[in-house]
A and B are shown apart, each in its own frame.
Chain A
Amino acid sequence: MGVSSANVPIGGDLDLTDHFGNPVTIQTFRGRFVLLFFGFTHCRAVCPTILSTLSRALERLGSQADLVQPLYITVDPERDTPAVMKAFLEKSFPRFLGLSGSKDQIARAKADFKVFAQKQLDDTAPGGYVVPHTAFSYLLDPQGNYSQHFTNASSEDDIVDKLAARAIIRQY
């Protein structure tokens, strides 16, 4: 990517609820890499595309994918309750664990990862609005620290290569 986080802290503790209703923090996933994406379940284009790309990339990693916890954090906590996220993810993207929370909790998570999301009225959208958002996927190391990010322009091959190239995945 060419951008480091050494100069700008990216990431944080997280204080959210998973789609089974369990409270989670970044420590919950300690020991595994985390592949983290922000979105909302009513998203019609960006989320399905990227969740599909990430799912296929993880599939191609084979057993190494077990060392990676994919997370999907909502930017639309009003609609994306844990139950809604569970239904959405288990149907189409079963590798992902959905995380939701209160408006404040989501706002803190967004701020920690420098994520933009802005509610925008749209008569053609379900519920009458959409939430355009940052389409980055963040890779965190097993200690929960930011490692790198992928943009929506990153290809599946690129993601697979970058994940596989991390020897630590194999060694861990």
Chain B
Amino acid sequence: MDTLISRRQLIGGMAGTAALAVSAADSLGGLQGNNVNKAPFDISALPLLDQKQAGHLRHLRNISDQPSGIWDHMRGPFDHMGGGIGPALYKVVPHSYFAMALAYFNRLPAAPGVFRPLSDRLIAQMLDKEVWGYWRLMSTSSKEYDPDLKEDRQAWSDPVVKENIMYSGRLAVMLGLHSVLFNDDKFEKPDSVVLDWDVPFSGGPTQFKYSLDSLNDRIYWQLVESGYLGVACEPNCVFVVCNQYGLIGLRLRDIRRGTKVADESTASFKEAWERKGWVDANGHLVALYQPNQDFIVPLKSPLWDFYAGTYMSAWMPEFVRAHYPTWSKYAYRSGPNGTLSPWPAKLIPVVKAAVDNGTPLRSIEVRQVKLGDIADIGQMLAFVAEIGDTKARDGMLAHLDEFCNPTWEKGGLFYPRNDQDWDTDGNMVRMDPWTGTASAAHARLTTENGLWNIYNKPWGPLHFAQPALAEVDEEIDVLRAIFVPSRHALVLTMRTWHGNSMAAKMVISNAHQPGKRWKLYRDGDVVASGNDAAVLSTSLPKAQWDAGQLVFVAPVRSASTFVMQWA
């Protein structure tokens, strides 16, 4: 922890900004004021981020905006399967991206100006060698996970050419989401995705160049060659969950290209696993399969059900909902003040026996159990949020707030890493960056069926032709951003994260509506007006047309609502 504190101070110095932690109260920014719903029509029912949601989103923006080599709140704990910092980062970075994407699509659909820079930064982090460089070491395989291995395999550095679906699949989803959510073809161009192996050893320096297409083709043909049982993560380790990323990536590519490869692939994946048997006698999903031995490794934890189920819910929602009662039956442990946390997987047989015998559950001593590095609660949170079990979601989020040291830093909310398992009262306090940064954000920022919505009801040309907030200053928290077709109005609620006043620049795209006049309201008062050619009046420091977009500069401090309406 000392290391983290000193790094925080270092960043503050490097970036020239005050990196002092601010309390939740300090960072409220007037959210609870009256201005959020002041508008020329009733906007109270339009989605508005609450304080914690805004805090999570701000934290994602903060972690993505660190100098190269700085991974504050993202590193560790070290993954024993991979070594180095990569295996932690290849989870935190993409899952932060997923939380960001879910928030954008489901809650702030008219704010590409907030999310596109964030998308760019997180993808740049994902392509950083520190995230994927572990693969060269891992690619040699091991008798530990492939007992028939006669000698180490020849190592290779390219992290997506073969196997390693835990990285390549997540990367495919990130690139696919970027393409789909921003209607942007930049990663569809040949060689647009560059993995720079810039070391003069181990076959370098060299670059591995891909595109959305070539990356997905690599994954697709490996799926085919596996009989659709799945592409390996670590050598000879096929995790059902990581193949969900591969499948979702194929769907996102389909959305861009109008093809149906994902339909074929998901159906084949399901059929292959039904033939092999992917639900055990107790109703739990297969987690890990070793193809070289045709062996299903028994991983006895509902963690894997929730983990895979989160992403399966995009393409097989009935299946995961049908199995949820079994997965959750002995999974949750009630705590004080309405909190909910996972029973340690090792204790679930004890819990089951206690329930069957009518023994009070409080008699079960949890502190004897050593937990794994990753807090199971993160996988559970993302899942219950996606399927809409709000009671479980809110109970587990309450647990994080009660026992996991919610921390505000530069307007961002997260739960800092803690390698201790239990407090003296037996409450789970372990926290890892994947959970505390990404999964908690996922749970708070998605909506029921949030991922399903992207997969099944992607935005089309109509959405991308609507007015939107195309650019906004990084210091601005956008709490509401939606276009209301029936009112022909773009509704934005925003504030500064630090609570200080600033002249905020905002750029409105698709603002040019031929023959129409427009008015810009700030908290219900007209602050600018014009037509499709000129700004006719304004009380703002700046309001002007620029290359078909409207550019405003407006003072912002506490939450203010801007409504731009055409008539």
Contact = CB atoms under 8 A, between A and B. Distances in A.
Interface of A: 1-8, 10, 111, 114-118, 132-134, 136, 151, 153
Contacts, number: 56
Contacts of A1: 259, 261
Contacts of B224: 114-116, 134, 136
B448 interface: no
A145 B442 CA distance: 45
Interface of B: 210, 213-214, 217-218, 220-222, 224-228, 253-254, 257-261, 264, 267-268, 275, 294
A66 to B, nearest CB: 30
Contact of A7 (B214, B222, B261): B214
A116 B261 contact: no
Contacts of A117: 227
Contacts of A132: 227, 275
A40 to B, nearest CB: 14
B267 A118 contact: no
A49 to B, nearest CB: 14
A132 B224 CA distance: 13
20 contacts: A1-B261, A2-B257, A2-B261, A3-B217, A3-B261, A4-B213, A4-B217, A7-B210, A7-B213, A7-B217, A8-B214, A8-B217, A8-B220, A111-B225, A114-B221, A118-B227, A132-B275, A134-B225, A151-B268, A153-B264
A115 B225 contact: yes
A153 B294 CA distance: 26
Given A3-B261, A4-B213, A7-B213, A116 B225 contact: yes
A139 to B, nearest CB: 15
B228 to A, nearest CB: 8
Contacts of B217: 3-8
A82 to B, nearest CB: 26
A116 B221 CA distance: 10
Nearest to A2: B259
A5 B227 CA distance: 18
Nearest to A154: B264
Contacts of A6: 214, 217
A2 B225 contact: no
A47 B351 CA distance: 49
Given A114-B221, A118-B294, A151-B264, A2 B227 contact: no
A2 B257 CA distance: 8
A127 to B, nearest CB: 19
Contact of B226 (A4, A5, A116): A116
Contacts of A116: 224-228
B183 to A, nearest CB: 19
Contacts of A133: 227
A1 to B, nearest CB: 7
A151 B301 CA distance: 36
Contacts of B226: 116
B370 to A, nearest CB: 38
Nearest to B218: A8
A115, A117, A118, A136 — which one has the most chain B CB atoms within 10 A of its CB? A118
B220, B222, B261 — which one has the most chain A CB atoms within 10 A of its CB? B220
A5, A8, A111, A115 — which one has the most chain B CB atoms within 10 A of its CB? A8
Nearest to B253: A2
A86 B94 CA distance: 53
Nearest to A152: B268
Contacts of B275: 132
A116 B268 CA distance: 12
Contacts of B214: 6-8
B261 A134 contact: no
Contacts of B213: 4, 7
Contacts of A115: 224-225
B105 to A, nearest CB: 23
A16 B280 CA distance: 41
Nearest to B229: A116
A101 B320 CA distance: 44
Given A2-B254, A3-B261, A6-B214, 9 more contacts: A3-B259, A4-B213, A7-B213, A7-B218, A8-B217, A116-B226, A132-B275, A134-B225, A134-B227
A2 B218 contact: no
B260 A2 contact: yes
Contacts of A2: 253-254, 257-261
A2 B263 CA distance: 12
Nearest to A135: B268
Contacts of A136: 224
B266 to A, nearest CB: 12
Nearest to A118: B227
Contacts of B220: 3, 8
A117 B253 CA distance: 27
A108 B268 CA distance: 24
Contacts of A3: 217, 220-221, 259, 261
